[in-house]
Structures are given as structure tokens and as C-alpha cells.
Amino acid sequence: MRKIVSLLVAATLLLFSCQTNKNDNSQKEDAIIISDNVITETVKALKEKVGDDNNRIEKGVKQAANLWRTSDGNKDDFKQFCLNNFINDANELDIIFNKVSRNFEIIYGYNNLITLELLEPIHLTYGEPHAIDNIFGAYSPYAHISEDFYKNKIAFIIALNFPSYTLKEKTELGSDWSRKEWAYARLGDMFTSRVPANLLQAVTTAETNADIYIADYNIFVGELLDNNNETLFPKGMKLLSHWNLRDEIKSNYANKDNGLAKQEMIYEVMKRIISQEIPQEIINSEKYQWNPYTNKTYKDGKEFVLDREPDTRYQQIINNYHALREVDAYSGDMDTYIKRKFEGSMEIAQPEVEALFDKFLSAPQAKMVGELIKKRLGRDLKPFDIWYDGFKARSSINQEKLDMVTQQRYPDAKALEADLGNMLLKLGFSKERAEYISSKISVDPARGSGHAWGASMKGDKAHLRTRIPSSGMNYKGYNIAVHEFGHNVEQTISLYDVDHYMLNGVPNTAFTEALAFIFQKRDLFLLDIKDDNKEKEYLQTLDNFWSIYEIMGVSMVDMKVWKWLYEHPEATAADLRVAVDTIAKEVWNKYYAPVFGIKDQPILGIYSHMVASPLYLTAYSFGHLIDFQIEQYIADKKFDQEVSRIFKIGRLIPNAWMKEAVGSPISVEPVLTATNQAVKYIK
């Protein structure tokens, strides 16, 4: 099945490649034709017509002009369109806003539902996926929506009357805006670039193929051999890379028998994945036994020489890069994916992100916490100790006992779904409120590690996808599920309770990660396992610091890799493999070697997000910072009330959201200050 899927995925990529080449000439011919002189003439004529000299006219005309193509009409057609369609009356503008908001909720809501259901055979445990499922999963009903709205001129009506504001303008003006003005601005953000549908489909195809590749990247650790030809893990046990591999390392800190040996073995597996020295036939197969230390493989005691994975991991990244790079020419000032991801999606400039991360990673607290971990472990630090889990309350609880609790409570997805309301009750929500929120969340059995998928219209449900073995949900799966549940609660409140549809959601993915962390940290409490440890608050601070320290380094690698890609646009997968190895080691040597006492470690290159979710990792870093500030703020307040208040602030820009939520912008200082206090107390 793997080979058939690979061939059909390749065929799909070729199909879209052919479509792109076929349309290249027509795309070039359909050029921007509105000059600065035409814009000036149109603005002047419009101001004379409506008798108004407000800035909205100039911004709207410029934005519409940047989107206008020869296929939309000539210069005179553009000018006449603006004169006919600019809305000067405030009441009419509000009527249009409400109608557009309603219609977009319908359109995007049902398109989201279609996408969700097309991907079910890939994401859920419906048996072995057929190759046709992957092709349908790569199809995006969104692909032509944008172009359709340009053809029927709806996009131009919106751009003309609800112009977009730059990040700088939102930062300077947003503090004085009403909620309605913020919603108007968010509507204006909908049409700022005009990307051909075939390029959008190519992006979706590349990302879906990468997601399929990662979702099926399991290692049967029960077939791993150490240098004594012994197995350390149960027969049949398989772990998804990188999530389950990482979580298995975390879980073995409480294992005093052979926990360290298991951790070291998994780290060897990770290094082979990063270097692509892992034998191809080992991936998602238990046909052979494998010694990751020597990289030798065996069957029935006889050694077999197997081919390595042929840089497939890095080819997925290259495919994503090329698909996204094709969009650059149609994105105005956001002419790289890096800009679109940070200034556009995150609304934080990439240089600011990197400077903030450098400040945190270079802080002296890293050595302080590192020394504390070393003392607690009673040994020198190992590279995989970036995932040290000993500050969490559960670290002292035997993993098998936790598994027994979760397996008994949640034998399947239906059992978890039935318990969601009860979980909210434990967190302080009223019965009515708990039933209201939980009724809008569905739990599905996931093929991969699990994820949360929000609704895009009222009346639809958010989906919690979680991996539940036939033996029942183990603790690691439960911990991830509680994180995803946090996403679902946020997705529900920020859709159903927000005052304007155009403000639904949160500023960016970092915020939804932060709000999910708030739930995830309460996983033991939700299992009715009490922790009366007086050091708990300080331990949580140290755990938060170490988590940020780890993920910021990975995020640094991700950002530097994408900069490298733009500097080397013709790079092959093999070139990228070498570059990732080099960049990961450089970041390690700068920020981690001084703490760990060991150089040239590639571990920061293992994260699967780098393959399937380009430049997503920074969201986790910001998520931890935001999570910490929110936790500090709500510590002496009612959890349910604050969650409901904060989650419905809506999609403002990041620092405006933070000021409204907790009274201060995003900063590393609160974590660093609290870490100083925690280290002193724990010592």
C-alpha cells in the first residue's frame, strides 16, 4: 500500500505541476494594469462625488487597484467600478458588513465541513486508507473561492470599502478602535493578495502529502535491539515520530530500572531519522529487527542490508517550499512565505521573534535550571534531556499506574466524549455552561497522534481527534487529548460567543496553543489525582521555563532553515539534509552546549512540524509565554469566568489581545523573573 500511495501522490504532484506550467503564460498576461496616475485620478473623482476627504477612500482605491487585473476590465472600467461601488453612508456600510459576514460564515463553514469529512479516511481509524483517499484528501474546495470572488467583483467591493491596515497601522491605531472597527479591519484583511487557484491547490497538495508522510511514520520499538541484541520495549509497540518518540523519552524519567537505556535508544533512532540513515523498510514495519546504534538490521537472527530512506523527509520540505514560493509573486509586500507567516499570520515581524527568542535562550537562567536538573538526575545531562519531565507532578507517578487509570476511564472515543462535560464541571463551569460547550465538541478516533479541528460556523461542532489503542487510552494519549480539548473549548467560545464573525478565533496559532496548555496542565486534576506538593507552583514555573527553552531552539532551527531555503532556491533534498544538520548543530552549540556540556548535537532537527507544518513551531514558543502570563493573571480568579472572558476577546493583533486579557504585552521577563525565584526555592 505504501508504494501505491507514493506513486499516486507523485502522480497528483505531476498533475498540478502540469497545470501550473500550462497556466504560466495566462497568469503573466493577466497583469496588474492600474497605474499610480489612474489611482490618483480615481481617488480625486471619488472624493468629488461623495464630498468626503477621509483616508478610507485612498486606502480602498489603492487596495482594489493592486488586485485588479486585465481580465477584470480596463482602466476606465476600474475607475467606473470605484465610483459606482464606494459606500459613503455609514448605515449602508454596516448593512453590507453584516450581510458579508453572514455569507462568509455560510461559505467557509460548509467548506470547512467538506474538507473535514474528505480527510476522515486519512485522519481517522477507518481501516487501511486507499490511495484514492489521499487524492481526495489533497483536494481543497477552498482553492477557487478567492478567484470566484474576484470574478464576481465581491472581493473588489470589500477591498474598496473595507481596506486593509498594515501591522504598523493596527499597532498605532488599534488601541482607539471599537470592536466594530476591528471587525471592519479584519474583513479588509480577507483580500490583500490574488493568488491563482492552481497555485493554492498546489500548496494544499504539498502540505497534505507531507501530512500523510508524517502521519504514517511509525517506529516499531519492540523490534529495536541494543548492542547486547536485547529488546527493551514490548513486542508490537509502535511510536509515531516525533511525538510518541519524544513522549516515550519523557515517560521514562520515572523508570528507575531501564529508563535511561530506553531514552538513549530512542535518541539513536531520532538521529538516524534526521540523518536519513534509517533503513526504509524499518519505517512503519515490524518485518525486521534494527539496532539503531550500529544501524544493522536482522530477520530471524540473520543480518540483512537494507537501503536507507532516500531523503524523503527533506523532499517533503522542498515540495512545501517550492509550492509556497510560487505564491510570492502574487503577495505584494508579503513577497516571501516567511513574511506571510510572521507579519501576516502571526502579526509579529520575524526579526522581532528571533530577537525575543535569542534573549530568552541566552538568559543565565538556562544554566541555573540545567544545573538543577543535573542534580536531580544524579548524572551529566544528555541531549534528550531537553525533554526532561521531572518538574511535572506526574513525574513521580508510575507510568503504568497512570495508563491503568486512563485505559479504564476511556476505553474508546465515545467514553471520552461522554466525559467532556464532567471535565468542565471539575474546572468550575456551571452545569449549563459545561453542557453548552461540550455539546459542540465531537471526539473521533485518530490514526495519527491527534489534533483539534474547529468549526467555522455556528451550528457545527469542533472535533477532537485522539489516538486510542484497542486496550484503551494510555496516559500519553490522554495528556495530548486534554491539550486538544483546550483547543476545542477555545474554538467553541471564540466562535459562538464572539460579537462579530469577522473577529472569531484568536490572534494567531500561538494563542490557541497557549490556551490549550492551560487545560493540558490540569490533566491530573481531571483524573482526580491530587497533588498537595507545596513546591508545585515553583515546579510548574521550572517546567514551563524548560519547555520554552527546548521549543524556542527548535523554532530557531525552523526559521533559519527557511531563510536558507530562500537563499538556496535550487537546493535538492540532499542539500537540505546537510543544511538542517548544520543549522541544528549551530543552534545547539550556541544555546545548549554551554548548558549541556556537549557539542554538535542534531536533536533540534527531529520535529515533524518542520516537515508537515512549515514555520508552525514558533507558535508553541509564544504559546508558552502567553500561557505563563495568563496563568499568573488568573491564579487568584475563577477559572471558568476568566476562560470565558479571555477566549471571546477575538482576533485582535497579539499585543492588543494580551493587554485586554492580562493588562500587559507579550514578554519573556515574567518567566525569567519567576524562574529565578523558583530555582532559589527548590534549591
Residue 15's pLDDT band, with cuts at 50, 70 and 90, is very low
Are the beta carbons of 323 and 203 closer than 8 angstroms?
Answer: yes
- 111 and 171 inside one domain: yes
CA–CA separation, 572 and 221 (whole Å): 31
pLDDT tens digit sequence for 577-611: 999 999 999 999 999 999 999 999 999 999 999 99
Report pLDDT for 53.
66
Residue 394's pLDDT band, with cuts at 50, 70 and 90, is low
Report pLDDT for 186.
97
- 177 and 260 inside one domain: no
Report pLDDT for 393.
58
Report pLDDT for 134.
85
Better-scored residue on pLDDT, 7 or 287? 287
Average pLDDT over residues 623-639: 91
Q: Is the pLDDT of residue 501 over 90?
A: yes
Are the beta carbons of 566 and 586 closer than 8 angstroms?
Answer: no
Better-scored residue on pLDDT, 583 or 333? 583
pLDDT tens digit sequence for 30-51: 667 899 999 999 999 999 999 8
Record the cell numbers describing residue 467, joined without a space: 489516538
Burial of 621 (0-12, 13-18, 19+ CB in 10 A): buried
Record the cell numbers describing residue 407, joined without a space: 485505559
Better-scored residue on pLDDT, 438 or 19? 438
CA–CA separation, 683 and 680 (whole Å): 5
CA–CA separation, 364 and 595 (whole Å): 10
Instruction: Give the H/E segment covering residue 38.
Output: helix 36-50
pLDDT tens digit sequence for 112-136: 999 899 988 888 887 788 889 888 8
Is residue 441 in some structural domain?
yes
- 47 and 126 inside one domain: yes
- 99 and 242 inside one domain: no
Report pLDDT for 51.
81
CA–CA separation, 174 and 184 (whole Å): 12
Q: Is the pLDDT of residue 536 over 90?
A: no
Is residue 485 in some structural domain?
yes
Q: Is the pLDDT of residue 29 over 80?
A: no
Report pLDDT for 614.
95
When divided into structural domains, the chain yields a total of 3
Kindly list the distances between the CA atom of residue 141 and the CA atoms of 118, 322, 536, 562, 612, in Å, as whole numbers in the listed order.
10, 21, 48, 28, 20
Is residue 11 in some structural domain?
no
Average pLDDT over residues 529-538: 79
- For CA atoms 142, 566, 591, 343, the dihedral sign is negative
Report pLDDT for 88.
92
Report pLDDT for 233.
97
Report pLDDT for 30.
65
CA–CA separation, 302 and 291 (whole Å): 13
Average pLDDT over residues 92-106: 97
Direct distance between the N- and C-terminal alpha carbons of the chain, in angstroms, rounded to an integer: 55
Q: Is the pLDDT of residue 298 over 90?
A: yes
Record the cell numbers describing residue 204, joined without a space: 494544499
Report pLDDT for 396.
61
Q: Is the pLDDT of residue 477 over 50?
A: yes
Pairing assessment for the beta strands 462-466 and 450-453 based on DSSP bridges:
antiparallel
- 168 and 94 inside one domain: yes
- 110 and 231 inside one domain: no
- 265 and 140 inside one domain: no
Residue 159's pLDDT band, with cuts at 50, 70 and 90, is very high
- SS3 for 163-204 is CCCCHHHHHHHHHHCCHHHHHHHHHHCCCCCCCCHHHHHHHH
Q: How many CA atoms lie within 13 A of 579 on its CB side?
A: 22
pLDDT-wise least confident of 5-19, 277-291, 320-334, 625-639: 5-19
pLDDT tens digit sequence for 652-666: 999 999 999 999 999
pTM for this prediction: 0.80
Report pLDDT for 22.
39
Question: Taking Cα atoms as reference points, which of 106, 103, 218, 198 lies closest to residue 155?
Answer: 103
pLDDT, the chain, mean: 91
Report pLDDT for 18.
34
pLDDT tens digit sequence for 215-271: 989 999 999 999 999 999 999 999 999 999 999 999 999 899 999 999 999 999 999
- 114 and 187 inside one domain: yes
Q: Please say which residue of 472, 502, 532 terminates a domain.
A: 502
- 255 and 295 inside one domain: yes
11 Cβ contact list (under 8 Å, min separation 6): none
- 165 and 240 inside one domain: no
pLDDT tens digit sequence for 130-158: 889 888 888 877 777 888 899 999 999 99
Q: Is the pLDDT of residue 470 over 50?
A: yes
Percent of the chain with pLDDT over 90: 77
Kindly list the distances between the CA atom of residue 103 and the CA atoms of 27, 106, 157, 499, 535, in Å, as whole numbers in the listed order.
29, 5, 14, 16, 52
Are the beta carbons of 295 and 272 closer than 8 angstroms?
Answer: yes
Q: Please say which residue of 311, 346, 374 terminates a domain.
A: 311
b (16+ CB within 10 A) / e for 161-174:
bbbbbebeebeeeb
Residue 12's pLDDT band, with cuts at 50, 70 and 90, is very low
- 50 and 176 inside one domain: yes
Owning domain of residue 281: 217-311
Residue 521's pLDDT band, with cuts at 50, 70 and 90, is confident
Average pLDDT over residues 356-379: 97
Report pLDDT for 571.
98
Residue 17's pLDDT band, with cuts at 50, 70 and 90, is very low
Q: Is the pLDDT of residue 19 over 80?
A: no
CA–CA separation, 61 and 63 (whole Å): 5
Is residue 463 in some structural domain?
yes
Is residue 372 in some structural domain?
no
- 188 and 226 inside one domain: no
Is residue 1 in some structural domain?
no
Is residue 638 in some structural domain?
no
Question: Taking Cα atoms as reference points, which of 455, 597, 473 lies closest to residue 113?
Answer: 455
Report pLDDT for 217.
96
Q: Please say which residue of 281, 311, 341 terminates a domain.
A: 311
Report pLDDT for 476.
86
